[in-house]
Amino acid sequence: MFTLSREGEGTLVPGTSGTPAGGRRHRVREQALTEILDTGRRLLVEEGPSAVTLRAIAREMGMTAPALYRYYAGHRDLVQALVSRLYDELAVSLAEARERRPADDPGGRLREVCRQLRRWALAHPREFGLLFAKPLTDADTAPGSAAHDPSWRFGTILLELMVQLWRRGTVTPPAGLDPAWTAQLEEVREHLAGEPVPLEVIYVFVSCWARVYGAVAVEVFGHLDFALTDPEPLFEHALRDVLTALGAPEA
């Protein structure tokens, strides 16, 4: 456990000037930040999102609550840091799955990524719930929040593969969408680095994501227990429909 020493009490405040990036004090601070988030995640997993508080983490680490405020200004900052770390972890996991397939097979890569999303979610249901069910208001990913960019690092992995399929001309946009409705999708297009993807096609992307997420979420949150002991075939059916909609049906 990390215990804040008297020597370090006045030197670990965020933004303190004159602390060398690779110095001992910097390393002590980084170790403390890591342990704080590790402890917060453990409380999340063992007791649920409501247990992730500054006071509870300080108690687990043998610190006083005021000492913890030297690292995080409040509950929101702490939760945002935890959410950011989890999104980054998930993004790394999906990127590794993507690389299992050749770069010229975006459909196969997307299939691997979606399957890895399900595996990660089933292995980390409480973490998945914090990211996607948003049980804490401080876990939001709205523009301006610290977790906004990490959430898009995760989302971009799926989105870029869908764009690759669109470039091949395999995505057919639906006809007759209200322009006022599709305008809501402008923020998604802003994250495509200048790709001229029509909003109607982005609608297809979002619909496909909703289908994948829904299939994962109902399983992770136990909403299929009344009917299925093994929901994997249902997930695979949904994934097959998604890939067909994107013009990449499994051979």
**3-class secondary-structure state, position 222:** coil
25 or 212, greater pLDDT? 212
* Cβ proximity of 248 and 165 under 8 Å: yes
Six token digits for residue 141:
């990913």
187 or 89, greater pLDDT? 89
| Distance in angstroms (rounded) separating the CA atoms of residues 156 and 92 | 12
| pLDDT per residue as tens digits for the range 131-148 | 999 999 999 999 999 999
- Number of alpha carbons in the 13 Å side-chain half-sphere of residue 219: 24
| pLDDT per residue as tens digits for the range 192-242 | 877 889 999 999 999 999 999 999 999 999 999 999 999 999 999 999 999
Indicate the CATH number of 82-245 among 3.90.70.10, 3.10.350.10, 1.10.357.10, 3.30.1360.70: 1.10.357.10
| pLDDT per residue as tens digits for the range 37-58 | 999 999 999 999 999 999 999 9
For residue 39, what are the contacts with CB-CB under 8 A and spacing of at least 6? 57, 60, 61
**pLDDT tops 90 at residue 14:** no
Sign (positive/negative) of CA torsion 45, 50, 53, 56?
negative
- In our burial notation (b when 16+ CB lie closer than 10 A, e otherwise), range 189-212 reads beebeeeebebbbbbbbbebbebb
The pLDDT value recorded for residue 20 is 53
- Residue 228 sits at φ, ψ, to 5 deg, of -125, 135
| Distance in angstroms (rounded) separating the CA atoms of residues 185 and 207 | 11
**Extents of the domains making up the chain:** 1-73, 82-245
pLDDT, mean over the chain: 89
* Cβ proximity of 11 and 19 under 8 Å: yes
* Cβ proximity of 62 and 36 under 8 Å: no
* Cβ proximity of 207 and 226 under 8 Å: no
Torsion of CA 75, 77, 82, 87, to 10 degrees: 130
